[in-house]
Amino acid sequence: MSQDAAFAARLVNDRYMLVARIGQGGAGSVYLADDLRLPGRQCAVKEIVLPTRIGSAAAETIRAAFHAEAVLLARLDHPALPRVSDHFVDNERSVLVMDFVAGQDLAALLDEARSRDRMLDVRQVLSWSETLCDILSYLHRQRPPVIHRDIKPSNIKLTPDGQIKLVDFGLAATGGEPADGITVTVQGGGSRPYQPLEQYGEGGDADPRADLYALSATLYHLLTGRAPSSARDRFLDPNALRDIADIRPDVPATTVGAIAQGMALHPDKRPASAEDLRRRLISPAVPDTGVRAGQNGNGGANSTVQDVPITLSWTQAIRANGALVGAVMILLLFALAVTFRP
């Protein structure tokens, strides 16, 4: 992680010493910071620029919404989410302080695999998908529901101990304090390859099914090694998106179908919930391709990607290997017949 040459360390709110810029977007920047009140603790500080061409009343409304949403996010407690620990306004910038998550994001992991002419292991990606669906189920169950709105490989971290974390929860103002039945949105409009049609445009509308589209598009990228065609391109050309099976025949048909449904252009055609998507994604049998992201040339493996087996029940195993089971039964009957022949 190299420090931006144009960046100068500075103190924010008399507590956080910004030491490096680690991300930047249209709405603001993310910094690695030292917490001076808790020596040894590092955190991620995201500064979001407040609108300047608005009146004082409108600005105060936005700040109130920012405060209410930050309080809600600070209550989130999930092992795969960074914890929000502080928020404030500093020089017309809304500031959000979160746990700093060390590790490599999945976009970098994809680049690494591509540079070695490899693809990520199917079983590993499906293991990550279970964790990500669990995160979304947790977020969408909140009252009001929390929608990430920018799920993509670069916003998913793989920690040094092999855990998945969904990061980058920058706040977007909703124009008022949230209440029951009102959806709190975090982040901005999203990134085009992973963004559903309903998020297009300024302040695009979205409900939890928007996150299901983004997650499905992310899984498409992780499994195929290429970003999917945007929803706009697919709307204009129904054949724009190449089928996963054409690129990666070893991906189970159940998984291929679940991702296709999750990426349906119309929200009503997508799975009803993250848990529904999870059930559809996990196939009874996922082949071990022997392909690992991060393997070195002599067959060894980095600790970056772990091999996660999927446990099958007896009934699932029998269904998945019906032809083999049938052949074994025929041979067994033949052996019994020969053994007990008078």
Domain regions of the chain by residue span: 10-99, 104-281
Residue 44 confidence (pLDDT) above 60: yes
Residues 211/142, Cβ–Cβ less than 8 Å: no
Model pLDDT, residue 60: 75
- Where is pLDDT greater, at 316 or 89? 89
Give yes or no for residue 32 having a pLDDT over 80: yes
- Tokens 């959806």 correspond to 183
pLDDT at 127 over 60: yes
Residue 324, classified by CB atoms within 10 Å of its CB into exposed (0-12), middle (13-18) or buried (19+), is exposed
Per annotation, catalytic residue among 150, 233, 243, 288: 150
CATH code reported for the domain at 104-281: 1.10.510.10
Asked if the model's pLDDT at residue 66 lies above 80, the reply is: no
Reported confidence tier of residue 181, pLDDT bands at 50, 70, 90:
very low
**Residue 315's pLDDT band (cuts 50, 70, 90):** very low
Share of the chain above pLDDT 70, in %: 69
Q: Which of 1-5, 37-41, 189-193, 206-210 has the lowest mean pLDDT?
A: 1-5
37 against 179, higher pLDDT: 37
Question: Which amino acid is residue 308, in one-letter code?
Answer: V
pLDDT at 170: 56
Q: What is the pLDDT averaged over residues 267-296?
A: 72
Q: What is 10-99's CATH number?
A: 3.30.200.20
The pLDDT value recorded for residue 48 is 77
| C-alpha span between 131 and 165 (Å, rounded) | 9
Dump strand ranges (E) for 120-232: 146-147, 156-158, 164-166, 184-185
Question: Mean of the pLDDT values across residues 68-87?
Answer: 86
> What pLDDT was estimated at residue 203?
54
The DSSP element (H or E) to which 84 belongs, if any, is strand 84-90
Predicted confidence at residue 33, as pLDDT, reads 96
Residue 56 has φ and ψ, to the nearest 5°, of -65, -35
pLDDT band at 317 (very low <50, low <70, confident <90, very high): very low
Confidence of residue 62 (pLDDT cuts 50, 70, 90): low
Amino acid 57: pLDDT: 77
pTM metric for this prediction: 0.75
Q: Is residue 23 scored above 90 in pLDDT?
A: no
Which residues are CB-neighbours of 257 under 8 A, at least 6 positions away? 280
Least confident of 49-53, 62-66, 314-318, 319-323: 314-318
Least confident among 26-35, 236-245, 295-304: 295-304
Looking at per-residue confidence, does 332 or 247 come out higher? 247
Task: Beginning with the edge strand found earlier in the chain, give each strand of the sheet holding 104-105 in spatial order.
Answer: 104-105, 156-158, 164-166
Has 150 been annotated as catalytic? yes
pLDDT given for residue 27 in this prediction: 61
pLDDT surpassing 50 at residue 2: no
What is the pLDDT, as a whole number, of residue 107? 96
Q: What is the pLDDT of residue 6?
A: 67
Using pLDDT thresholds of 50, 70 and 90, give the confidence band for residue 320: very low
The average pLDDT across 270-281 equals 96
Vertex 200: Cα angle to 175 and 110 (nearest 5): 110
Q: What whole-number distance in Å separates Cα of residue 204 and Cα of residue 225?
A: 28
Which of 25-29, 91-95, 107-111, 196-200 is the least confident region?
25-29
Decide if pLDDT at 306 tops 50.
no
